[in-house]
Amino acid sequence: MEKVTNNAYKAHCLVLSYPTQGHLNPMLEFSKRLEHKGVKVTLVTTRSMSKTIHKEASSIALETISDGFDEGGIAHAESIQAYLERFWQVGSQTLAELLEKLSSSSSGNPVDCIVYDAFLPWALDVAKKFGLVGAVFFTQSCAVDNIYYHVHKGLLKLPLSEPEILLPGLPPLQPQDMPSLIYDLNTYPAFFDMLVSQFSNVDKADWVLCNTLYELEPEVVDWMTEIWPLRTIGPTIPSMYLDKRIEDDKDYGFCIFEPNSDTCMKWLNDHAKGSVIYVSFGSLAALNAEQMEELAWGLRMSNSYFLWVVRASEEAKLPKNFVEETSEKGLVVHWCPQLEVLTHEAVGCFVTHCGWNSTLEALSFGVPMVAVPQWTDQPTNAKYIMDVWKMGLKAPADENGLVKREAIENCIKEIMEGERGKEIVKNAYRWKTLAKEAVDQGGSSDKNIEEFVTKLVHS
């Protein structure tokens, strides 16, 4: 597509993200898809978040609003509850001020629509006050969204009392397959309230966008589409890894941590195809010291080569001398370019916490997974990885929730060497093909984004 000049944009979308890496990345990628189809996009995050990200060159404009904690964000609030309440008050006000500023600017591109993170439902009220189209963007799977919706409507009674949970569009789930905030009530009440409140005003949204692909969870998408104008628009992964239609789109463009790119890629280049286990638990998950030790031993006992991302804040939990003693087999780094690593031919398996972004990336690149879920939506994602998509194994936990070294070793060996591993690799390749097709021209997600843009232009 031809690059559009400033005043030739079809419409102008303001895209508002919740201030974490895992929310900013998918919303930025969706923004690039919109821009590719001729829509002007202004990406909005908080002032505190904008100070911590390394921004690559991007044609997408970045603006900020306040969460009430401009110096340090949520870390400076006395509680999660206090942060979210303050963000609602100050965020609504500063978002309205930003809209006024953009509408009075001389660019000739007034805002037509707010695409807002489902974690920030108050943004829809601001959009409606300004007479704008409001599109809610869910950054988790439709399966998980469906569970929270049923809790919000009082259709799923808590605490869970049945051994099996049956919800429309979902496979039968055991309590431990549910998002942790539902299975373990009262662990993080403020987060629980936020996740359930995503649906507080969703019926007033003009669009419901979900970062998934239709082929991945068709039954639940069909069920939810009967209630809302829901469209799947994922996977939101840089185009050069999938359909290659957006030429300069090689990475997400924002990063909180500096990756050890050269070290990782040189190390991987020295290893045979499919011989390396990649281990990463994302930008937020923190394992306790006992779990870290079991994971370390499991990797060692598997006798495989491994590349393990251990954030600097987590390093002290590693067993003493582990890095030195395993240096012939493993490389431990603070951060790495995950997209490049997962697409490297040396990687044969991904030990993951099953955050939705990591899950979609592995699925889109056809990398089998060992699922070690930690909290929120991750147990549900792990259930789907193993039993629905059949492209990985969930490492079983003991009665205390600890995944023992033998469980990790067995899952790795099964995928890398076992009979089940061959079937998993075959399924993984199938999902890789479907993910690419969904975002390519005429694919399910591409058609949905096209429809969104067309209706935006004519609204």
- Over residues 7-26, the pLDDT tens digits come to 578 999 999 999 998 999 99
Task: Convert the pLDDT of each residue in 148-158 to its tens digit.
Answer: 999 999 999 99
Closest CA to 132 of 226, 20, 36, 16: 16
The residue ranking higher by pLDDT, 206 or 58, is: 206
Q: What is the mean pLDDT of residues 400-413?
A: 97
Q: Specify the range with the lowest mean pLDDT, choosing from 241-245, 250-254, 271-275, 431-435.
A: 250-254
Long-range contacts of the stretch 186-190 (C-beta < 8 A, 24+): 187/375, 188/80, 189/81, 190/79, 190/80, 190/81, 190/84
pLDDT of residue 43: 96
More confident site: 55 or 389: 389
Q: How far apart are CA 38 and CA 36, in angstroms?
A: 6
pLDDT value at 447 more than 50: yes
Q: What pLDDT was estimated at residue 2? A: 38
Helix (H, G, I), strand (E, B) or coil at 226: coil
Which of the four pLDDT bands, split at 50, 70 and 90, describes residue 190?
very high
Nearest-angstrom CA–CA distance, 343 and 263: 16
Overall average pLDDT of the 133-151 stretch: 98
Asked, as a colleague might, if the bond just before 110 is cis with ω within 30 of 0, I would say: no
User: Quick one: pLDDT at residue 406?
Assistant: 98
Which residue pairs from 421-430 have beta carbons closer than 8 angstroms and sit at least 24 positions apart in sequence? Answer: 421/368, 423/390, 424/368, 424/390, 424/391, 424/392, 424/393, 425/366, 425/368, 427/389, 427/390, 427/391, 428/362, 428/363, 428/366, 428/367, 428/368, 428/391, 429/366
For residues 308-319, give the mean pLDDT: 95
User: In b/e form, how buried is each residue of 271-302, taking b as 16+ CB within 10 angstroms?
Assistant: beeeebbbbbbbbebebeeebbbbbbbbbbeb
46-97 pLDDT, tens digit per residue, is 999 998 876 665 678 999 999 999 998 999 999 999 999 999 999 999 999 9
The residue with greater pLDDT, 105 or 216, is: 216
Sign for the CA dihedral angle at 254, 256, 257, 258 comes to: positive
Question: What positions carry a catalytic annotation?
Answer: 23, 117
Report the pLDDT averaged over residues 316-341.
96
With a threshold of 0.85, does the pTM exceed it? yes
- What residue spans in the chain does CATH classification 3.40.50.2000 cover? 6-245+440-457, 258-435
Could you confirm whether domain 258-435 is CATH 3.40.50.2300? no
Q: Which CATH superfamily is domain 6-245+440-457 in?
A: Glycogen Phosphorylase B; (3.40.50.2000)
